[in-house]
């Protein structure tokens, strides 16, 4: 069903047909189909959905749609939604909603759930504890495979995943894990202790969500156990949740690399003044820092006055340096984000960028030399000055672009801030100093 078909059926009041066709669709597709509709129509169609599907669709609604539903449904309807929502989805909902809506939501939850919600909300923002869910299958040591399968059948419908089951002792200490495949293919009289895997990759409740995403990326897990400082199993993080985190972290990196303050709001849903506020501080910093470039040119004003032609090469040299630095910084920032590069690799990065920059610099200088001498008939000393400056600038730019993100990471800063705009500003000043320094020596100015 598409939007046009839905509107036609709605206008013809063929509600049974709407319900039948929507019930056959995936909940994500239903949420997208209802997204452009007005609040009144969305609510009417939402109430037509089977209860189980309605809850799943609600979890995929945007915050504005969820807010409209919560404000419109009865307390009984809201209570059913809250009861059926997966716990991590409920936590995400509460974290995003205004205080008055949170109060209404909490009123519709059970007392034991309210205590758990309050506990989750106390975890640091962007930590493993804040994104985990408590809906996992745990098995006690000492039980048989038959008892484990019975337990999964009784509780599995309410869990986010049953493919990986975690084994704990009486104190809830994480001892190991066993896959559903292993359970269903093992003798039912075997003990869990005999078939479980003892080596468990785990994360702590206070680990940063970005480091958790790196663990998922490295091992390719569908779920990851979360433990507290006493190694007690507290919850799990599933791959669908971590995919959202990866997207969020990537978006933040792109925004920082473009010299903007990170924002989780969608572009079209964000106000003009809010977007301006996110962009203005970095632009101001970069504008002020660019005054150093002007001061350098002012300092060598006599050089420019003596050989006016030198000024014609400044834009090319600055652009080449900025582009060279941006190439290196982009690769290193990405390597740090994926875990391919660590701060301990600084010497490897420095040595590699030094060799790359020499090859690139010499190639660009050679091409530029041919252009200046054969095509533009430039004075040989000026051609030498420009060509040497290109080599030195490219080498310096690539080294700066490669090393600065590592320095930022070492200082517990986001390496993404050492991206294009900032690198370009630094390299522009560097290129001018090198250019005028070489010109002063070679041209005797």
* Structure confidence by residue, pLDDT tens digits, 145-177: 999 999 888 888 778 888 889 999 888 899 999
Task: Name the least confident of 93-97, 186-190, 392-396, 401-405.
Answer: 93-97
Phi, psi angles (nearest 5°) of residue 125:
-60, 145
307 shares a domain with 233: no
Question: How far, in Å, are 12, 20, 35, 122, 220 from residue 42 at the CA level?
Answer: 16, 16, 8, 34, 38
Q: Is the pLDDT of residue 310 over 90?
A: no
Weakest-pLDDT range from 176-180, 204-208, 238-242: 238-242
Domain assignment present for residue 177? The answer is yes
Inside any domain, residue 322: yes
CA dihedral 116, 121, 122, 127 (to 10 degrees): 110
Residues 6+ apart with CB under 8 A from 337: 210, 249, 250, 253, 415
Distances (CA, A) of 329 to 63, 98, 119, 292, 417: 35, 39, 40, 22, 10
pTM of the model: 0.53
* Domain co-membership, 16 together with 104: yes
Look-up: residue for tokens 């807010």?
A: 67
> End of a domain among 122, 148, 180?
122
What whole-number distance in Å separates Cα of residue 265 and Cα of residue 248? Answer: 10
Name, in order, each residue with C-beta under 8 angstroms of 365's C-beta and a sequence gap of 6 or more.
Answer: 387, 388, 390, 391
Q: What is the mean pLDDT of residues 389-403?
A: 88
Q: In sequence order, what are the residues at sequence separation of 6 or more whose Cβ sits closer than 8 angstroms to the Cβ of residue 93?
A: 66, 85, 105
- Cα(139)–Cα(436) distance, rounded to whole angstroms? 72
248 domain-assigned: no
pLDDT attached to residue 329? 83
Is residue 131 in a domain? no
Residue 261 lies in a domain: no
Name the residue range of residue 432's domain.
290-442
pLDDT in tens, 346-382: 899 889 989 999 999 999 999 989 888 888 887 888 8
Is 251 part of a structural domain of the chain?
A: no
Average pLDDT over residues 27-53: 84
Same domain, 18 and 118: yes
- Residue 161 and residue 238: Cα distance in Å, rounded? 8
Give yes or no for a contact between 1 and 25, defined as CB atoms under 8 angstroms apart: yes
Nearest to 68 by CA among 34, 92, 107: 34
Specify the range with the lowest mean pLDDT, choosing from 3-12, 180-189, 261-270: 261-270
Q: What percent of the chain has pLDDT over 70?
A: 80
Would the pLDDT of 277 be above 70? yes
- What's the longest Cα–Cα distance across the chain? 94
Question: What was the pLDDT predicted at 4?
Answer: 83
Q: 301 and 413 share a domain?
A: yes
Listed range (108-122, 124-138, 162-176, 391-405) with the worst mean pLDDT: 108-122
Structure tokens at 102: 């949170």
Q: For CA atoms 275, 278, 284, 289, give the dihedral sign.
A: negative
Kindly state whether residues 9 and 113 are assigned to the same domain: yes
168 and 235 share a domain?
yes
Give the count of domains, the chain.
3
User: Looking at the structure, do residues 352 and 391 belong to the same domain, yes or no?
Assistant: yes
| Whole-number Cα distances in Å, 360 to 172, 180, 365, 395, 445 | 58, 54, 9, 8, 29
């Amino acid at each position: 069903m598409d939007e046009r078909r839905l509107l036609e059926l709605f206008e013809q009041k063929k509600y049974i047909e709407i319900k039948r066709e929507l019930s056959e669709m995936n909940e994500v597709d239903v949420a997208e189909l209802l997204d452009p509709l007005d609040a009144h129509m969305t609510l009417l169609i939402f109430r037509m959905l089977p209860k189980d599907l309605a809850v799943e669709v609600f979890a995929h609604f945007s915050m504005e749609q969820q807010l409209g539903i919560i404000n419109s449904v009865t307390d009984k309807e809201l209570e059913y939604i809250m009861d059926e929502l997966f716990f991590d989805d409920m936590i995400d909902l509460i974290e995003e909603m205004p205080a008055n809506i949170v109060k209404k939501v909490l009123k519709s939850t059970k007392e034991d759930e309210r205590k758990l919600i309050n506990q989750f909300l106390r975890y640091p923002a962007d930590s493993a504890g804040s994104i985990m869910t408590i809906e996992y299958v745990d098995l006690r040591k000492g039980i048989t495979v038959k008892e484990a399968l019975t337990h999964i059948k009784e509780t599995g419908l309410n869990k986010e995943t049953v493919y990986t089951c975690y084994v704990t002792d009486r104190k809830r200490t994480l001892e190991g894990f066993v896959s559903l495949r292993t359970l269903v293919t093992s003798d039912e009289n075997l003990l869990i202790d005999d078939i479980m895997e003892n080596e468990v990759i785990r994360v702590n409740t206070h680990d940063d969500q970005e480091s958790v995403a790196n663990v998922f990326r490295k091992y390719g897990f569908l779920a990851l156990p979360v433990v507290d400082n006493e190694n007690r199993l507290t919850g799990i993080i599933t791959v669908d949740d971590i995919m959202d985190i990866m997207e969020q972290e990537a978006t933040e990196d792109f925004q920082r690399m473009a010299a903007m303050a990170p924002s989780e709001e969608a572009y079209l849903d964000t106000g003009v003044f809010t977007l301006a506020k996110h962009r203005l501080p970095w632009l101001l910093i970069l504008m002020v820092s660019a005054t150093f470039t002007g001061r350098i040119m002012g300092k060598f004003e006599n050089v420019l006055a003596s050989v006016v032609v030198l000024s014609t090469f400044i834009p090319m040299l600055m652009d080449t340096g900025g582009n060279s630095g941006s190439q290196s910084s982009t690769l290193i920032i990405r390597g740090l984000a994926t875990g391919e590069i660590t701060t301990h690799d600084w010497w490897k990065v420095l040595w590699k960028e030094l060799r790359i920059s020499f090859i690139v610099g010499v190639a660009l200088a050679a091409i530029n030399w041919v252009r200046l001498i054969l095509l533009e008939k430039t004075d040989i000393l000026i051609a030498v000055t420009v060509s040497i400056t290109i080599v030195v600038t490219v080498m310096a730019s690539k080294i700066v672009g490669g090393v600065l993100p590592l320095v930022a990471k070492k200082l517990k800063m986001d390496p993404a801030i050492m991206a294009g705009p900032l690198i370009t500003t630094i390299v522009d000043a560097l290129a001018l100093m090198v250019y005028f320094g070489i010109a002063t020596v070679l041209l005797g100015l």
